[in-house]
């Protein structure tokens, strides 16, 4: 079972996740960090930035990237990761990786897998969760053992991400994403979720059956998952009292 930490609000969640990452970084300054875009992880990056750690030797890998955007588009995840994560954390841009949406798409997925392997694998991967239970852009129905691949975005995901574009129509329909199997290869996973609109997905992921209908439920198969969820996102969990008591990190719960 995942180690579930229920925090009062997203900010406390960011601090808790940043503390976990800093604990890995301290003995391993060249750690490999799996980063996630989206709104929920933002407090993690600001909490980490506030710690003023030397992260110049860290390698970072994003979970996914849109396809069919022009190179350098401000909402491409290459641009988002640079702006929202790499710059505030002081990462070396040469060590920051997103799947290459401009490359030959026959080669880009395996090239990304190779790059992760060459870096030694991911030490800590941060993941958000979609309202439909996706992780990365692994939408419902995705293989739970899949590797990095090209995929279509669910309509729900495109609607949720339309806030970053001028209109729904401008949200790409295709992406390249780490597969669930790739994500599960990370040595430690930190799942973050916030808000009532995520409550059903969080309950299904943490307490429901392991099923391709809820790709995040595959996290139950990983031996080292910390789920940091705020009270709203935890509101549909059946065992919330148990999780609250089991929070191991004094500063988090
Ligand atoms: P969000 O995205 O943090 O912006 O809600 C999470 C996700 O879709 O994986």
| Residue 38 in contact with ligand 1 by CB distance below 6 A | yes
Assess whether 249 carries a catalytic annotation. no
Structure tokens at 50: 């506030």
| Residue 40 in contact with ligand 1 by CB distance below 6 A | yes
- How far apart CA 188 and CA 126 sit, in angstroms, is 9
Check if the beta carbon of residue 239 is closer than 8 Å to that of residue 207: yes
Pocket test for ligand 1, best of 160, 164, 165 (most atoms within 8 A of CB): 160
- The share of the chain scoring above pLDDT 70, in percent, equals 96
| Residue 13 in contact with ligand 1 by CB distance below 6 A | no
Q: Quote the pLDDT of residue 2.
A: 80
Cβ atoms within 10 A of the Cβ of 241, count? 10
Q: What is the pLDDT of residues 93-118, one digit of tens each?
A: 999 999 999 999 999 999 999 999 99
Any idea which residue has 């509101």 for tokens?
A: 235
| Residue 99 in contact with ligand 1 by CB distance below 6 A | no
Assess whether 222 carries a catalytic annotation. no
- The share of the chain scoring above pLDDT 90, in percent, equals 92
Average pLDDT score, the chain: 95
Query: Exposure string (b/e) for 209-228, b if CB count within 10 Å is 16 or more?
Result: eeebebbbbbbeebeebbbb
Predicted confidence band at 251 (pLDDT cuts at 50, 70, 90)? very low
Q: Quote the pLDDT of residue 248.
A: 47
Q: Quote the pLDDT of residue 173.
A: 98
Q: Give the distance (Å) from ligand 1 centre to CA of residue 209.
A: 22
Assess whether 139 carries a catalytic annotation. yes
| Residue 217 in contact with ligand 1 by CB distance below 6 A | no
- How far apart CA 189 and CA 181 sit, in angstroms, is 13
Assess whether 54 carries a catalytic annotation. no
Q: Quote the pLDDT of residue 1.
A: 64
Segment (H or E) for 243: helix 240-246
What angle is formed at CA 66 by the lines to CA 60 and CA 72, rounded to 5 degrees? 75
Q: What is the pLDDT of residues 132-180, one digit of tens each?
A: 999 999 999 999 999 999 999 999 999 999 999 999 999 999 999 999 9
Any idea which residue has 């790499």 for tokens?
A: 86
Q: What is the pLDDT of residues 15-55, one digit of tens each?
A: 999 999 999 999 999 999 999 999 999 999 999 999 999 99
Structure tokens at 78: 């290459």
Segment (H or E) for 124: strand 124-127
Nearest ligand 1 atom to the CA of 127 is 9
Please report, for residues 135, 159, 191, the alpha-carbon distance to residue 54 in angstroms, rounded to integers and kept in the order given.
29, 37, 24
| Residue 19 in contact with ligand 1 by CB distance below 6 A | no
Cβ atoms within 10 A of the Cβ of 56, count? 12
Structure tokens at 141: 């129905």
Q: What is the pLDDT of residues 222-239, one digit of tens each?
A: 999 999 999 999 999 998
Over 80: is that where the pLDDT of 120 sits? yes
Q: Give the distance (Å) from ligand 1 centre to CA of residue 110.
A: 25
Pocket test for ligand 1, best of 13, 36, 125, 129 (most atoms within 8 A of CB): 129
């Amino acid at each position: 079972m995942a180690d579930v930490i229920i925090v009062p609000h997203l900010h406390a969640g960011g601090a808790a996740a940043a503390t976990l990452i800093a604990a890995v970084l301290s003995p391993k300054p060249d750690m490999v960090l799996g980063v996630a875009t989206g709104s929920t992880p933002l407090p993690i990056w600001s909490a980490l930035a506030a710690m003023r750690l030397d992260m110049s030797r860290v390698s970072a890998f994003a979970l996914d990237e849109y396809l069919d955007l022009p190179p350098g588009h401000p909402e491409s995840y290459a641009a988002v990761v640079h702006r929202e994560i790499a710059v505030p954390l002081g990462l070396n841009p040469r060590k920051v990786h997103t799947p290459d949406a401009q490359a030959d798409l026959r080669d880009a997925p395996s090239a990304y897998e190779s790059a992760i392997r060459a870096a030694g694998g991911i030490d800590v991967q941060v993941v958000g969760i979609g309202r439909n239970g996706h992780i990365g852009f692994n939408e419902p129905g995705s293989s739970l053992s899949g590797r990095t691949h090209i995929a279509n975005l669910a309509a729900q995901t495109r609607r949720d991400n339309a806030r970053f574009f001028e209109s729904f129509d401008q949200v790409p329909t295709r992406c390249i994403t780490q597969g669930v199997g790739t994500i599960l290869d990370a040595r430690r996973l930190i799942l973050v979720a916030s808000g009532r609109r995520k409550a059903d997905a969080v309950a299904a992921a943490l307490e429901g059956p392991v099923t391709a209908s809820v790709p995040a439920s595959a996290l139950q198969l990983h031996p080292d998952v910390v789920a940091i969820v705020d009270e709203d996102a935890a509101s549909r969990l059946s065992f919330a009292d148990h999780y609250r008591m089991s929070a191991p990190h004094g500063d988090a719960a």
